[in-house]
A = this chain, B = another copy of it.
């Protein structure tokens, strides 16, 4: 029931911290392998899921449906502007959209409103 600290979890957390961009579980697994920390792929998946459940990392899906993870600067609720090409990420907050989402939900008598708001674009460097 309790969460234990293991070499693997520490390694995943550390690898995650080194990334500036959103990364998939497989990419992180590769990063770990490259740096010499041997961690099973299944463990990487499990660990990331655990972190996400604990709101320690942010999670989103790219257009292909792959799940990407990232340790964000801010802990509070926020959204992202991600480069489709290099995945460079900018954290943004939108009090405007939060309010809008809540209002729309209430207007139609829906509860437990949750929203998926992500912006994708091409960053300056990837424009060529």
Task: Show the binding face of A for B, using Cβ within 8 Å.
Answer: 61, 65, 67, 81, 83-84, 90, 92, 94, 96-97, 100-101, 104-105, 108-124, 127
Contacts and interface: CB of A to CB of B under 8 A. Distances in A.
Contacts of A111: 121-122, 127
Contacts of A94: 97, 100, 104
In the assembly, how many copies of this chain are there? 2
A120 B127 contact: no
B109 A119 contact: no
A122 B127 contact: no
A74 to B, nearest CB: 15
A55 B78 CA distance: 30
A115 B105 contact: no
